[in-house]
Every structure is written in C-alpha cells, then in structure tokens.
Amino acid sequence: MASLIDTFIYGFFVYIALILFVAGLAYRWVRNRFSWTAMSSELMEMRVLGATSVPLHYAIIVLLIVHIGGVATGFGVSSLKLMSLWVAGAVAGIIAIYGAFVALIRRIIFPSVRSMSKAEDYIILILLILILALGLYQYAAVGVGGLYPILARWFKGVFIGSPNIEPLAYLPWWIKLHTFLAMLFVAYWPFTKLAGMISYPITYITRKYQVIRLQRRMYK
C-alpha cells in the first residue's frame, strides 16, 4: 500500500516539478530574458574547466536519453536494448559524477572562481552529485531492468492524470530519494543558469549581418 510519502512524491510533487519547470521557463523568458545565459567562469580558470565541463555535459545528455528511453518505453529485462541502456547509463553516470565533483571542488579551491560563484552554482552541483551517487548505487545494488516496466506505467499515467503509485511503494528508499531529488532538480532548473541549456539560437541564422569595420586613426 502506498504511503503518504509515496503519494506525495509520485502523485503530487511530480506535477509541481513539471508546472514549475514549464511555467518558470516561460515566465523567465518573457520577463527577464537577459538573465537567460550563464555567467561563464572560463576567464577565471580554464585548465580544470576544460577537463571536466565537456565530459560532464555529454554524460548528462546520455543519461537523459537513457532515462527517457527506459522510462517512456519500459524495455523488458531480457531486451538487448535494456543492456545497452544499462552500459551507457553506468559509464555516463561515472563520468558525470566525476565531472560534477571536480567542478564543485574547482569552485571551492580557486579564489577567482569562488568570488564570482553564486549559491545556485553550489546547490546545482551538490544536487547533481547526490542524484548521480544514488543512481549509481541503484545500478550496483539492484540494477535497473525490473524498474523500467513499473516506471513506464507510472510515467504514462502522470500525463493522463492517473499515476499508478501502488507498485512504486515497494521500491527501496534510495530509489525514492533519487526520484525526489531528480524532480527537485527539474523544479529548480528554470530559476538557475541551467535555463540556457534548453534553448537553441534559431534566430541566429536568419538575423541580419553584423557589419564590423576597422577604424584607422590618421596622425599628421
């Protein structure tokens, strides 16, 4: 039987996270579009950033594909696609948690980077590390094969307004915490510099050319 915590996470908070994600991005785009981009720390420190930023971003993209593919379709345990997802998710998870941990240490030990960092920078990285750590523990402890069919039914139920919560009540606590933190991350996303990750410069290819001229000063 589903407890109050299960009902809150899988039947209530999931809708809060989705509403905040969509409404927050829309509000920020309309009301404060100039804050859409992130404050880059590249000029403050480049060596560590270059070694972690690119692998971290690509690993997160792979993890998103793995989760969306697994949860949305509910691959069976014996499926070859499930095994490929498992391997891709495990490798991407290790790379991502390494990148997030080093990025957090970078913001702490380099005074120039620390001086320009905001609270959201630390919150994002700490949340990401916790989510990844719980996800990797889940991979090592119970795997993910049996979860996909259950989560797929719940995921589809969310979008029709009737989430199937009862089977999720038997999941271990770390999986529930992993899910809750992931939802919290999604809800917090629009109010941080991560908002720029979902945008694409569509108007860039249709805008007018920017004319740049070299100004030469003539001296007598």
Helix spans in the chain (H): 4-7, 14-31, 47-73, 80-109, 111-116, 119-141, 147-159, 173-188
- Among 38, 68, 21, 33, which Cα is nearest to 188's? 21
pLDDT averaged over every residue in the chain: 80
Rounded Cα distance, 118 and 132, in Å: 22
Q: Which fold has domain 4-205?
A: Fumarate Reductase Cytochrome B subunit (1.20.950)
Span 170-195, pLDDT tens digits = 888 888 999 999 999 999 988 887 77
- The separation between CA 63 and the C-alpha centre of its own chain, rounded to angstroms, equals 9
Give 3 or 207, the one with higher predicted confidence. 3
Span 206-215, pLDDT tens digits = 666 666 666 6
Neighbours of 39 (CB within 10 A): 10
Share of the chain above pLDDT 70, in %: 74
Rounded Cα distance, 158 and 152, in Å: 10
**Structural tokens at position 71:** 């949860």
